[in-house]
């Protein structure tokens, strides 16, 4: 019999649900992909349209990115077997940091093994018990985990509400330490976009620092595809900018970009940077090539393609009476959330969609609030107009098939 601490953890709602659905062969979780991810994917023995990945620019299967990964592995091996601080910094890490700094016109950048470790390491290195961190109610789990590790006081404001942030900042300023506000550019589950210009203004008025997580917005927004802060014209006002290489950039990794003093602080105190093996040569080399493409005129075309496809799919769903819930103020988003509410109907609808020949994401608590389970439909530059029309029909039919639930 496993120890009671193991039994207790396995009996929690989500672990139990995942295990039960697997037993019933109805699980949307951890399904096995048998091929690279593009417009479609082999899911077990079925080829399905892929509308549930973060492969926004379609670079995860780009031959130039794959060749770069190959060159990386042949030149530097399968792993670095050390942390960045000791033997784990190879030329590829230096190259990508130089490229990211050049992309942003910033003095320096620091590469992490993932976006998750970039957030956790950075927030916990910068903030301490005396300080307060104010985060949007829908902020990513890696932000919350970073705050928890730092020991700082954590205050929430209502999702995307500038009024709520104003109230919470007044409370935050009563504490003895410094205040950091953290928001996502593009929220990963709900597809909403942060009212960043107003948030930056409010931070300035209140003497608070601002950190922006560009994990999902990187590569698709802004004149130079540097993310939502660039699109909003506030890039120079952001104190700490974090990006992920694991989504639009088609690799795995994360980074922080900004002033040299920030990197000095992180190199010496971000625990996820110091105490974990550095990113593999293949993933860093792939990401570097993906950034090169994203920075080029071709990147501009890819970003425009995702935008057009996303607007087309939103319209096709609308024509079929499927409501897309994102809070984007007329802006486009590659993430089209179809809010269902109950977990049971969300899972049933997901299974119908799979039977219809498409894969979409599922978001349930704790990724979204308890009563807001949703289907997360994600568009990629790799999709064709036919793919968009087909998935719109599949989603409509699946919702009809589960209307009684």
Residue 245 CB, nearest distance to ligand PLP (Å)?
Answer: 7
Q: C-beta of 142: minimal distance to ligand PLP in Å?
A: 5
192 binds ligand PLP (CB under 6 A): no
Tokens 């590569």 belong to residue? 219
Taking CB under 6 A as the binding criterion, the range among 1-9, 210-218, 299-307, 381-389 that sits at the site for ligand PLP is 210-218
Nearer residue to ligand PLP within complex by CB, 143 or 340: 143
Does 390 interact with ligand PLP (rule: CB under 6 A)? no
Q: Which stretch in 108-116, 123-131, 196-204, 300-308 sits in contact with ligand PLP by CB under 6 A?
A: 108-116
Cβ distance to ligand PLP smaller for residue 118 or 302: 118
> Pairing between strand 240-244 and 153-157?
unpaired
Contact call for residues 181 and 160 (beta carbons, < 8 A): no
**Size, binding site for ligand PLP by CB under 6 A:** 14
Q: Is 305 in the site for ligand PLP (CB under 6 A)?
A: no
Residue 326 as a binder of ligand PLP (CB under 6 A): the answer is: no
> Is residue 114 involved in binding ligand PLP (CB under 6 A)?
yes
Distance CA 21, CA 139 (A): 28
Question: Is there binding between residue 213 and ligand PLP (CB under 6 A)?
Answer: yes
Exactly one of 122, 160, 192, 246 binds ligand PLP (CB under 6 A); which one? 246
**Binding residue (CB under 6 A) for ligand PLP from 215, 279, 336, 374:** 215
Is the preceding peptide bond at 366 cis, omega within 30 degrees of 0? Answer: yes
Q: Compute CA distances 270 → 123, 149, 193, 267, whole Å.
A: 8, 11, 28, 6
Tell me the closest approach of the beta carbon of residue 114 to ligand PLP, in angstroms.
3
Among 62, 97, 184, 289, binds ligand PLP (CB under 6 A): 184
| Distance in Å, CB of 316 to ligand PLP, minimum | 26
Residue nearest to ligand PLP (CB): 115
Of the residues 254, 258, 334, 356, which one makes contact with ligand PLP according to CB under 6 A: 254
Residue 188: CB minimum distance to ligand PLP, A = 3
Which of these ranges, 19-27, 34-42, 110-118, 286-294, lies near ligand PLP under the rule CB under 6 A? Answer: 110-118
| Of residues 372 and 390, the one with the C-beta less far from ligand PLP | 372
Q: Which residues bind ligand PLP (CB under 6 A)?
A: 114-116, 119, 140, 142, 184, 188, 213, 215-216, 244, 246, 254
């Amino acid at each position: 019999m496993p120890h009671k601490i193991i039994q207790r953890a396995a009996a929690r709602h989500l672990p139990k649900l995942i295990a039960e659905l697997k037993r019933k062969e109805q699980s949307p979780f951890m399904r096995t992909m048998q091929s690279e991810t593009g417009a479609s994917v082999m899911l077990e023995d079925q080829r399905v349209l892929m509308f549930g990945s973060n492969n926004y620019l379609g670079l995860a299967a780009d031959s130039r990115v794959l060749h770069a990964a190959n060159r990386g592995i042949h030149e530097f091996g399968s792993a670095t077997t050390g942390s960045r601080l000791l033997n784990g910094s190879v030329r590829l890490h230096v190259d990508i940091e130089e490229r990211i700094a050049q992309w942003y016109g910033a003095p320096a950048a620091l590469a992490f093994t993932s976006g998750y470790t970039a957030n956790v390491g950075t927030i916990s290195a910068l903030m301490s018990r005396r300080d307060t961190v104010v985060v949007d109610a829908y902020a990513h789990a890696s932000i919350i985990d970073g705050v928890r590790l730092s020991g700082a006081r954590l205050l929430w404001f209502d999702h995307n509400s500038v009024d709520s942030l104003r109230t919470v900042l007044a409370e935050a300023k009563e504490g003895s330490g410094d205040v950091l506000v953290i928001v996502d550019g593009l929220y990963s589950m709900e597809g909403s976009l942060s009212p960043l210009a107003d948030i930056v203004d409010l931070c300035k008025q209140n003497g608070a620092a601002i950190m922006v997580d560009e994990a999902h917005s990187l590569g698709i927004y802004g004149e130079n595809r540097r993310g939502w802060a660039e699109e909003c014209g506030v890039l120079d006002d952001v104190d700490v900018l974090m990006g992920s290489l694991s989504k639009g950039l088609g690799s795995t990794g994360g980074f922080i970009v900004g002033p040299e003093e920030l990197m000095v602080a992180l190199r010496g105190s971000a625990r996820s940077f110091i105490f974990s093996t550095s990113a593999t040569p293949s993933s860093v080399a792939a990401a570097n090539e993906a950034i090169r493409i994203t920075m080029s005129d071709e990147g501009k075309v890819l970003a425009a393609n995702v935008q057009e496809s996303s607007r087309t799919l939103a319209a096709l769903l609308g024509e079929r009476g499927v409501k897309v819930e994102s809070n984007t103020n007329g802006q486009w988003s590659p993430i089209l959330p179809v809010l269902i509410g109950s977990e049971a109907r969300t899972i049933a609808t997901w299974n119908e969609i799979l039977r219809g020949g498409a894969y979409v994401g599922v978001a349930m608590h704790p990724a979204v609030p308890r009563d807001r389970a949703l289907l997360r439909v994600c568009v990629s530059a790799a999709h064709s107009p036919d793919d968009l029309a087909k998935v719109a029909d599949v989603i409509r039919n699946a919702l009809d098939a589960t209307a009684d639930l």
